[in-house]
Amino acid sequence: MGMREDLERIREEALEAIDSAASEQELEPVRIRYSGKKGALTAILKMMGKLSAEERPVMGQFANEVRAQIETKLGERFETLRALALEAKLKAESLDVTMPGKAPAPGYRHPLTTTIADVRRVFESMGFQTVEGPEVELAYYNFDALNTSADHPARDPQDTFYITDDVVLRTQTSSVQIRTMQGKEPPIRVIAPGRVYRNDDLDATHSPLFHQIEGLLIDRGVRMSDLKGYLEVFAQSIFGAETRVRFRPHHFPFTEPSAEMDVSCFACGGAGCRLCKGEGWIEILGCGMVHPNVLRACDINPEVYSGFAFGMGVERIAMLRYKIDEIRKFYDNDLRFLSQFNG
């Protein structure tokens, strides 16, 4: 048996073994067996010394050719097997992307809080400070200082909860106006969200407790046109940039002139629909120029300062925005209700 035959046999065996290795793990022993330091080729080359001087270079060249062939083949095979292995792995790892995602259970914001937060954001961005006042309030702050005389019907126990003759559950956040004006010099810009109370049973449309947001701006030279301007910005921020506003004359004891503000119906754009009862307008808030008697009660000179105030019902706005049918839903706190307000 000659060396050439041995080399040819090794080459044949090696190439066959390489081809038949099905994985990198199977191929590695093949590599060691044929091309490793102690492999078959090395063993043969060690016998090179026994050859004649004429044969040696010829055999040497042939042996190198065989080694190169085997190593090239090994390299290619390794690459192929790696690619196959990756392909198989990725295939095995593929997922059913239609299975449900794993979300941490979120907490939901109460729609009243969201509404208050949205309104706050609008006014805070215009320099208003959010303040709070007591819910159990002196009748003086809730009525007298707001130009609501002792025999005004609003003070009737059928409407107002009384703690004592001169302490009530506030019926309006307007009481915070007085506390603010008595506590600081103009210029003043505040909004006061909070709970107010009326002597009504809880049903679909009434609640003994609801939320209001009061706003107040006092400075030198504030005009009624400014009231319109600020509230238009508010309406367009909350109900959309296309919203139009309408001011109707009205009466409140603590503003003069007074107005109610309507916004163009955000459901139909003003054409008339069920939400706006065909009117095209939806009543949103009451407002007006702060009554001079109110300013005087707070030691602010109405000859020098003027300002405007407004008050809106949070439940009303939330009911309109989210198309909620009953006010008491806000206070049931059923998760099936709360979890709808997820954005």
Partner 1 sequence: MKLSMNWLNSLVPYGYEPKKYIADMTMSGSKVETLDYLGAEIENVVVGRVTQMERHPDSDHLWVCQIDVGAGEDIQIITGAQNVHVGDLVPAALHDSHLPGDVHIKKGKLRGLPSNGMLCSYKELGLTEHDVPGAYEDGILILGDTLTAEELAAAVPGRDIREVLGFDDWVVDFEITPNRPDCLSMIGLARESAVTYDIKYVPETPVVRGGAGDIGEWLRVRVEEPKLCPRYTARVVKNVKIAPSPKWMRDRLRACGVRPINNIVDITNYVMLEYGQPMHSFDYACLDGAEIVVRRAREGEPMSTLDDQERKLDAEMLVIADAKKPVGIAGVMGGANSEITDGTKMVVFESANFNGTSIRLTSRRLGMRTESSGRYEMGLDSQNTLPALERACELVELLGAGEVCDGIIDIDNSGYQPTVIKFEPERINRFIGIDIPKEDMLHWFDLLGFRMDGENIVIPSWRMDVEQFADIAEEVARFYGYDNIPTTLFGGATRYTPMPRIEFDDRIRDIFYALGYSEAQTLSFSGQKILDRVLIPQDSPLRSAVVITNPLSEDMSMLRTLMLPSILDVTARNYNMKNDSLRLYELGSVYTPSETEKLPNERKILSAAAYGGVDFYDIKGAIETLADGLRIQNLSFRAKRDNPSYHPGRCAEVYCGDDYVGVFGQVHPKVLENYNVSGEIYAVELEVEALYNNRGGIVEYEPLAKFPAISRDIAVVCAEEVTAAEIEACIREGAGKLLESVHLFDVYRGAQLGDGKKSLAYTFTMRDRARSLTDEDADGAMKRILKLLASRTGAELRA
Question: Could you say which residues in the range 21-80 bind partner 1, by CB under 8 A?
Answer: none
Binding mask 314-333 toward partner 1 (x if CB under 8 A, else -) reads: ----------------xxxx
Q: Which is nearer to partner 1, 51 or 209 (CB)?
A: 209
Least distance in angstroms from the C-beta of 323 to partner 1: 19
Least distance in angstroms from the C-beta of 103 to partner 1: 10
Q: Which is nearer to partner 1, 49 or 157 (CB)?
A: 157
Binding mask 180-219 toward partner 1 (x if CB under 8 A, else -) reads: -------x-x-----x---x-xx----xxx-------x-x
Q: Pick from 14, 30, 73, 137 the residue near partner 1 by CB under 8 A.
A: 137
Question: By CB under 8 A, is residue 236 in contact with partner 1?
Answer: no
Question: By CB under 8 A, is residue 237 in contact with partner 1?
Answer: no
Q: How far apart are CA 93 and CA 91, in angstroms?
A: 5
Question: By CB under 8 A, is residue 241 in contact with partner 1?
Answer: no
**Pairing status of strand 129-130 against strand 188-197:** parallel
Q: Pick from 23, 69, 182, 339 the residue near partner 1 by CB under 8 A.
A: 339
Least distance in angstroms from the C-beta of 107 to partner 1: 4
Edge-first strand listing for the sheet containing 162-164: 136-138, 167-169, 162-164
Residue 88 backbone phi and psi in degrees, to 5: -65, -40
Q: How far apart are CA 279 and CA 239, in angstroms?
A: 17
The structure tokens listed for 241 are 């940039």
Q: Which is nearer to partner 1, 79 or 203 (CB)?
A: 203
Q: b/e string for 201-234 if b means 16 or more Cβ within 10 A? A: eeeeeebebbbbbbbbbbeeebeeebbbebbbeb
Binding window for partner 1 (CB under 8 A); candidates: 28-36, 38-46, 87-95, 119-127: 119-127
Contact 299, 217 (CB under 8 A): no
Q: Residue 186, Cβ neighbours under 10 Å: how many? A: 19
Cα–Cα–Cα angle for 234, 240, 241, rounded to 5 degrees? 85
Q: How far apart are CA 281 and CA 221, in angstroms?
A: 31
For 109-168, give the DSSP string.
--HHHHHHHHHHHHHHTTTPEE----SEEEHHHHTGGGT--TT-GGGSTTTS-EEETTEE
Q: Which is nearer to partner 1, 33 or 195 (CB)?
A: 195
Binding mask 76-115 toward partner 1 (x if CB under 8 A, else -) reads: ----------------------------xxxxxxx-xx--
- For residue 307, what are the contacts with CB-CB under 8 A and spacing of at least 6? 186, 188, 216, 217, 218, 219, 222, 289, 290, 295
Strand partners, 258: 250, 288
Least distance in angstroms from the C-beta of 133 to partner 1: 10
Q: Pick from 221, 274, 299, 325 the residue near partner 1 by CB under 8 A.
A: 221
Number of residues in contact with partner 1, rule: CB under 8 A? 82
Q: Pick from 8, 26, 65, 166 the residue near partner 1 by CB under 8 A.
A: 166
Q: E strands, the chain, where?
A: 129-130, 136-138, 162-164, 167-169, 188-197, 209-220, 245-252, 255-264, 281-290, 305-313
Binding window for partner 1 (CB under 8 A); candidates: 10-18, 55-63, 87-95, 150-158: 150-158
Q: Which is nearer to partner 1, 27 or 282 (CB)?
A: 282
Q: Is the CA virtual torsion 106, 111, 116, 120 positive or negative?
A: positive
Q: Pick from 37, 127, 274, 323 the residue near partner 1 by CB under 8 A.
A: 127
Question: By CB under 8 A, is residue 338 in contact with partner 1?
Answer: yes
Q: Which of residues 248-277 bind partner 1 (CB under 8 A)?
A: 248-251, 253, 256-259
Q: Which of residues 273-302 bind partner 1 (CB under 8 A)?
A: 289, 291-292, 302
Q: Which is nearer to partner 1, 51 or 126 (CB)?
A: 126
Identify whether 208 is preceded by a cis peptide bond (ω within 30 of 0): no
